[in-house]
Amino acid sequence: MTASFARHEKSLEALRTRGRFRHLMPRAGHDFASNDYLGLADSDILRAAAADALARGVPVGAGGSRLLRGNDSEHQRLEEDAAAFFGTEAALFMGGGFNANQAIFSVLPQQGDLVLYDALIHASTHDGMRLGRAETRSFAHSDIADASRVLAEWRAAGGDGQVWIAVEAVYSMDGDTAPLQDFLAFADAQDAVLVVDEAHSTGVFGDNGRGLGHDMAARPNVLSLHTCGKALGVSGALICGQKVLIDTLINKARGFIYATAPSPLNAALVRAALHELQRNPQRRELAWQGIHHAQAEASRLCGLSGAQSQILPVIIGDDKRTMALAADMQGLGYDIRGIRPPTVPRGTSRLRLSITLNTPASVITTMFEDLARKMETAPCHI
């Protein structure tokens, strides 16, 4: 190690001491860690779609930015299908949800505007806000009364720009659902724009998996983000909303303008995943059978209640204890990962249990039986 990197090594050693050092590990054991909620990522459905797309001559690579030669007909067909499926004027396909959130919040809120965001909003939203020119204020998690208070204080201090309210439909680390109808009513009353990150809702919630906020997506003051690397089983993200906002992103979002376009083959696979949601509603129904089974077993065997979605957080608290429990469960053949700060608030380190179609009900039951035994010495809760 050269002296130039001594500070990096010191920083990493501090993470090791606190039980927060991260390293890459291969997938192994029964899936309780992925976001592949509908089991599409390794499915014959997408394999067949890939073979068909390649046979049709769909390119593997884009070759450039979409504003240069990288704009393929598959990108445009996907965006047309996505706008129709999610019920919006337009859609824009981007390389990933993180990039999409960065684009939204760095470009759309203008100087003098306010981004009013949930305290548990995703890191990508924070990065986008840092790059943008709007003022930002947080409110207590899913607390509309607190959001109203924060907004009133901003306006009393002279704020008079456009207000953008940022929430997630299903929160990735807590698994709870946002009161979207209440937030929409609040946005309407305040002449605000509601930005809904549907990342962990797409494919699982709503009519045919259109998301928790599917019935409000067509509203002119609603902008939705649907990621493609979770329940849809591929990668990328779709920003869905009014055409004027999509055109603004095309013209001003640096992460779109200066990035090589996503693979046209990938776009074709996302289209296939959307079509699967429409053709085969039984896939979503089977997923919910597994989710309800897991929620019931979590309550019966571990006393963990209150789960609202396919994401079941088991709060441990201590970082090192969390990682030790995760390692114990991995040793029993379950791919369960520990989540620590800064991803979650201090003192709330947890196991994040993700229920997907990749894991049968019998394994879910056995996992909770094993977890119950391991949890006897550590108080936990959802």
List pLDDT tens digits, range 361-370. Answer: 999 999 999 9
End-to-end CA distance of the chain: 43
Q: What is the mean pLDDT of the chain?
A: 95
Q: Report, as an integer, the average pLDDT of 250-267.
A: 97
Only one residue has tokens 């054991």, namely 29
Q: What is the CATH number of domain 26-42+281-377?
A: 3.90.1150.10
Q: Report, as an integer, the average pLDDT of 246-258.
A: 97
pLDDT-derived band at 379, boundaries 50, 70, 90? very low
pLDDT of residue 26: 84
Angle between helices 97-107 and 243-252 (to 10 degrees): 100
**Cβ neighbours for 93, distance < 8 A, ≥ 6 positions apart:** 75, 78, 79, 82, 236, 237, 238, 262, 267, 270
Q: State yes or no: pLDDT of 292 exceeds 70.
A: yes
Q: Report, as an integer, the average pLDDT of 183-204.
A: 98
Q: What percent of the chain has pLDDT over 90?
A: 89
Least confident window among 1-10, 30-39, 302-311: 1-10
Only one residue has tokens 């997938």, namely 27
Q: In the chain, where does the domain assigned CATH 3.90.1150.10 lie? A: 26-42+281-377
pLDDT of residue 376: 76
Only one residue has tokens 């500070």, namely 7
265-285 pLDDT tens trace:
999 999 999 999 999 999 999
Q: What's the pTM value of the predicted model, to 2 decimals?
A: 0.93
**In the numeric block, which tokens belong to residue 154?**
């901003």
- d(CA 125, CA 127) in angstroms, rounded, equals 5
Q: State yes or no: pLDDT of 76 exceeds 70.
A: yes
Distances (CA, A) of 361 to 21, 159, 289, 318, 365: 33, 52, 9, 30, 6
- d(CA 174, CA 171) in angstroms, rounded, equals 6
In this structure, CATH architecture of domain 58-279: 3-Layer(aba) Sandwich (3.40)
pLDDT-derived band at 1, boundaries 50, 70, 90? low
**In the numeric block, which tokens belong to residue 187?**
């946005």
**Cβ neighbours for 22, distance < 8 A, ≥ 6 positions apart:** 15
Q: State yes or no: pLDDT of 377 exceeds 60.
A: no
Angle between helices 97-107 and 123-131 (to 10 degrees): 40
pLDDT of residue 24: 77
- d(CA 167, CA 118) in angstroms, rounded, equals 6
pLDDT of residue 17: 85
Residues tagged active-site: 35, 122, 168, 172, 197, 200, 230
Amino acid of residue 216: M
pLDDT of residue 23: 78
Q: In the chain, where does the domain assigned CATH 3.40.640.10 lie? A: 58-279
Q: Are 226 and 240 in contact (CB under 8 A)?
A: yes
Distance of CA 374 to the CA centre of its chain: 29
**Cβ neighbours for 165, distance < 8 A, ≥ 6 positions apart:** 116, 117, 147, 183, 186, 187, 192, 193, 194, 195
